[in-house]
Amino acid sequence: MLQVAYLREEKLKAIEGLKKRHIADPEILIDGIISLDDKRKSTQTELDALLAEMNSASKSIGALMQQGKKEEAEQAKSKTAELKSNSKILQEELQKVEDQLQKALYNIPNIPHESVKAGKGEDDNEVLSEHGTKPTLPDNKQPHWDLIKKYDIIDFELGVKISGAGFPVYKGKGARLQRALLNFFLDEAEKEGFKEIQPPILINEASGIGTGQLPDKEGQMYHVPDVDLYLIPTAEVPITNIFRDSILEEKDLPVKLTGYTPCFRKEAGSWGAHVRGLNRLHQFDKVEIVQVQHPDKSYEALEEMSKYIQGLLTKLELPYRVLRLCGGDLGFTSALTYDMEVWSAAQEKWLEVSSVSNFETYQANRLKLRYKDADKKKHLLHTLNGSALAFPRILASILENNQTDEGIKVPKVLQPYTGFDMIS
């Protein structure tokens, strides 16, 4: 959530940033927020003055009674009652204005970093670099949805029977390969200095609001109405919310956490060949990395996180490329996002497997996450997160890129975890 002070002081910068996101009439939007904040301030000032007057009148009653001035005391009581009634009206008005202001702020996305280009959608994202060699496969190459049937390692039909479309069942060596990816990613994250967390996969409304998933504008979150809890779309949400309503010491920064969770997304509006097989699921596994950083060091941390994730892809021997998302494709809460995409040799397309983002103070402002500097002054922190990595498309690429006539070769780095080097 953006701060009103920022919108006042950096109004032109905010307007230009929102234009990159193709937000309609950003100036009107910002002026509306500033107007609401002005009304909030004036109402609060009026209420404070009235409460002070009421307090003074209330104190005078006892003194007047002691002096035997009963008539004046009764007048003071009457005045106090009137002030109390007026103060209640003002308090209700103030609450209404504050709610309107909060709602308006929730509906404004983060301001993109200056390096982010405008762009309308994913076709306008910038390719920053490309790494690795795309494998040459035989003419009889198969996409992963055929390979998993051939080797009986993932069962989509069984998932439909148990839950519905988008909930696959991993079997035999498919399940072992999933577990290998999990342990490999967590072990690598620990080596990089990330502390492992095993968070809940159900969150309350406050947690969803804290990291910006709520209000859920795209209808992608699964909601459990009777307990008013939500299934997490990513481990970023519960892990980052560990620090909701927290004040950290500057000396304790940065905080680096990692966690494995299943993730749940409705993927509303997704259909067609591009979401076939493992390309897009309602339930999938992911290892997430999260950082709480000093504002002066967050972009350095973002680059380090990007390089770390690229290192994982190199170790998995997967060709990949790095993209910087344009304003039209940037996530609601992000100021800058790098996407990592791997080459799927059988599908002959790039598949997104990771996003690493700097949210600057956007989440921290919602979370009330701050730090105290050497002078004991409090400042908002920066939060960052990245997929390190999401399993389905990584698995799809491993299966497709490593297929041979004898079977599917397992990347060397995973063999100590799987206990086998070939799926056949």
Decide if 141 contacts 345 (C-beta within 8 A): yes
Phi, psi torsion values for 203, nearest 5 degrees: -125, 155
Q: Which amino acid makes up residue 124?
A: D
Q: Cα separation of 276 and 278, whole Å?
A: 6
**368-386 b/e (C-beta count within 10 Å ≥ 16 → b):** ebbbeeeeeeeebbbbbbb
Q: Which amino acid makes up residue 266?
A: K
Decide if 381 contacts 369 (C-beta within 8 A): yes
Report the 10 Å Cβ neighbour count for 323: 21
CA distances 111 to 1, 118, 300, 331, 347, Å, are 10, 12, 19, 11, 35
For 165, the 3-state DSSP assignment is coil
Phi, psi torsion values for 207, nearest 5 degrees: -70, -40
Instruction: Show binding-site residues for L-serine.
Output: 234, 265, 288, 385
Q: Cα separation of 93 and 46, whole Å?
A: 11
Using the Cα atoms of residue 59, residue 65, residue 67 and residue 70 in order, give the sign of their dihedral: positive
Instruction: Show binding-site residues for ATP.
Output: 265-267, 352-355
Q: Cα separation of 329 and 230, whole Å?
A: 25
For residue 368, give every residue at least 6 positions away whose Cβ sits within 8 Å of its Cβ, in sequence order, or none.
244, 245, 246
Instruction: Show binding-site residues.
Output: 234, 265-267, 288, 352-355, 385
Q: Cα separation of 24 and 41, whole Å?
A: 27
Phi, psi torsion values for 127, nearest 5 degrees: -85, 115
Q: In what order do the strands lie in the sheet with 247-249?
A: 247-249, 370-372, 378-380
